[in-house]
Chain A
Amino acid sequence: KAGVTQTPRYLIKTRGQQVTLSCSPISGHRSVSWYQQTPGQGLQFLFEYFSETQRNKGNFPGRFSGRQFSNSRSEMNVSTLELGDSALYLCASSRGVEGAAGNTIYFGEGSWLTVV
């Protein structure tokens, strides 16, 4: 069974531009969450989507947004890029059934974003 798939794997953007990252969860998984990983801040939660609705949100500015489609695929968008947005962006998926907090969360290989 295919794992969590993220595209693109690597990208370089200029300050002020915007970027869209894509994530396809494991088949049957309805919860998709996004994390930012940087050397200085470590792994930080961005947001989570379940059945096309944002269920949790981390402490990031409004430039960071996301959405989920009816097939559970998700995209995240960062507008007006800053140098500090350079990071590995990880997508994770889970069955996400309400009350089943023990569901395993699986991660993709990530999208490496460099802002110059």
Chain B
Amino acid sequence: AQSVAQPEDQVNVAEGNPLTVKCTYSVSGNPYLFWYVQYPNRGLQFLLKYITGDNLVKGSYGFEAEFNKSQTSFHLKKPSALVSDSALYFCAVRDEVTGGGNKLTFGTGTQLKVEL
């Protein structure tokens, strides 16, 4: 069965500093990986995805993610954090073997807090 792990419940970073939110995955087929952000009392907003190709994926709001197959990781990064980036971040995986279905398996989420 596919699974996603986000080892950190919370990440604190100062504004202007680089940030990393960690994600590792386990799938039986090819991994299709996604990052979403959730602001308080809101739904999930799509940030970026890895399907195939370049290991560095660029997404919305200056975020990027690095896919590492050997370490089965897909860490979210941003070179310079903003206070407005403070939110809950979810990593998710869709396993190719689900037969075209759109079932996502989510991590437990990482609360990002960016302070002045």
Give Cα A60–Cα B88 distance, bound, in whole angstroms. 25
Chain A residues within an 8 Å CB radius of B49: 102, 104
Q: A42-B108, A43-B90 are in contact. Are A103 and B43 (CB under 8 A)?
A: no
Does residue A115 face the partner (Cβ distance < 8 Å to B)?
Answer: no
Count class of interface residues, chain B: 20 to 34
* Inter-subunit contact B98/A109 (CB<8 Å): no
Closest to B98 in A: A56
Q: A102-B49, A104-B49 are in contact. Are A56 and B42 (CB under 8 A)?
A: no
* Inter-subunit contact B43/A104 (CB<8 Å): no
User: Can you give 13 contacting A-B residue pairs, CB < 8 Å?
Assistant: A33-B103, A33-B104, A35-B104, A42-B107, A43-B104, A55-B101, A99-B100, A101-B98, A103-B102, A105-B34, A106-B46, A107-B43, A108-B43
